[in-house]
Amino acid sequence: MAMSVARVRSASLDDPFAVHMAPPAGETSDQRTRRLAAAQHAEKTSRQIDEVLLAGKRLLDKKRQDVKILLLGQSESGKSTVLKNFRLRFTPQYFDGERAAWRTVVLLNLISSVRTIVDAIHAELAAPEFTLVSAVHRQRCDALVPLLAQEGAITALLAPISAVAPPGGEITVRPGGAWKVLLAESDAAKHTADVAAALCDEVETLWGDAAVRELLQKRDISLRDAGGYFLDDIARVTDPGYVPTDADILRARIKTLGVEEHFFEKEGAPGTRGVKDFWIYDVPGSRGSRAVWISFFDQVQAIVFLTPLSFYEVLEEDTRVNRLEDSVVLWKEVCANALLAHVQIILFFNKMDILKAKLRAGLIVKEYVPSFGDRENSYAGATAYFKEKFRAYHKRTSPKPRSFFYYETTAVDTRSTAKIIGAVHEEIFRKHLHESILI
């Protein structure tokens, strides 16, 4: 016995864990079996934890090496649509897998437009002397109550995982794909499609009513200029067999609350030869959310800055601020930031189709921008003027000289935007490779 203790003490000098790892005195066969099983389970758990930590480290190391692109711009500038264009261009299989979810979003967008019309009719009917609508319009609105109720049904569906707006407001979801799974597979989403199909004729009758069009014009409501416009496609998007096209998904709108991180892994799609993996960060553009931008400034290699030339509009969240003036302020701040001195900044003048339509309709630029002066009041004249303004701020405020990259885009135009996205991607990776060689 003394010899056995002496051996353990001797071993403990070489291995301090020997005493603790030795079997308990008087251990039975069953106890030994349970002890060894517990030890094996602990070892397996430890290996799994190590594997997770190692995978996390590999992902972090890869993330540090991969190109990271930041999308910046005010709310409604088109960041989400440009992000979808990147998906369509570089990860088309992923894009295809989400069509069922986007069908429900398209229908929600259509319902939102119908609600806008119904609210305008009710407001007109409540006026002391209404002239544009009648009791017939009230009946049409009443017939559409089941369709409008689907907003509440989808809101309730998303409530456990999303930030949602009250009835009549815009549905807002949190980052991630959980909401897409629900919209693609739920009974509530299928029921929304059934209700929309059943009430297709009622919606078309309402939208085709001349009095309704006149009422919207009277109240300065321009549904065609808004994101998620599908009133000219009612029969198509409410058809039971409807599958959203690429253009439909780009036009469809759902608001996201918070920062979205998207990893683009090469799929080997046609036209993407040589494409490397990269990340895109889509950050909120509302004035109250811009403080989060700076936390990404020391991580990115390129910024895509979007601004519509909406000099004739004000911010939705602050009607005292002109949209274009707000974009100019943001542009100067981004260009001047010392953390971004080595970052490519690529300017997108977005939603140019809307500007063209406004100019054709008689919009006078100098009435909103006095410094425009007597320049030609045309698309070419306006874009040239604002391009030079943004170029001058870029040159004047950048901490060190860098190239000025600029594109005119209509993000819902898949063909032209695909070419631009390809060119932007190539330029970003060319610069990244050049810097990697220098390092």
Segments in 22-128 forming alpha helices (H): 29-65, 79-90, 92-96, 99-126
Ramachandran bin of 290, using left for φ above 0, alpha for ψ from -120 to 50, beta for the remaining angles: alpha
Asked if residue 151 lies in contact with residue 131, where contact means CB atoms within 8 angstroms, the answer is no
Q: Is 307 annotated as a binding residue?
A: no
Q: Is 353 annotated as a binding residue?
A: yes
Residue 381 annotated in ligand binding = no
* 380 annotated among ligand-binding-site residues: no
Task: For residue 253, say whether it is annotated as part of any ligand binding site.
Answer: yes
80 appears as a binding residue in the annotation: yes
The answer to whether the annotation marks 78 as part of a ligand binding site is: yes
Determine the Cα–Cα distance for residues 98 and 262; give it in Å rounded to an integer. Answer: 15
165 is in an annotated binding site: no
Alpha carbons within 13 A on the beta-carbon side of 62? 13
CB atoms within 10 A of CB 259: 16
Say if residue 248 carries a ligand binding annotation: no
Question: Annotated binding residue at 79?
Answer: yes
| Residue whose C-alpha is closest to residue 167's, from 113, 112, 207 | 112
* DSSP string across 294-338: GGGTTT-SEEEEEEE--TT-B-SS-TTSBHHHHHHHHHHHHHH-G
- Distance separating alpha carbons of residues 75 and 285, to the nearest angstrom: 4
Residues 6 or more apart whose Cβ sits within 8 Å of residue 56: none
Contact predicate 113/229, CB 8 Å: yes
21 carries a ligand binding annotation: no
Q: Is 352 annotated as ligand-binding?
A: yes
Check whether 186 is labelled as a binding-site residue: no
Please indicate if the annotation marks 81 as binding a ligand.
Answer: yes
Q: Which residues are annotated as a binding site for GTP?
A: 76-81, 250-256, 350-353, 411
Residues annotated as binding site for Mg(2+)?
Answer: 80, 256
Which residues contribute to the annotated binding site?
Answer: 76-81, 250-256, 350-353, 411
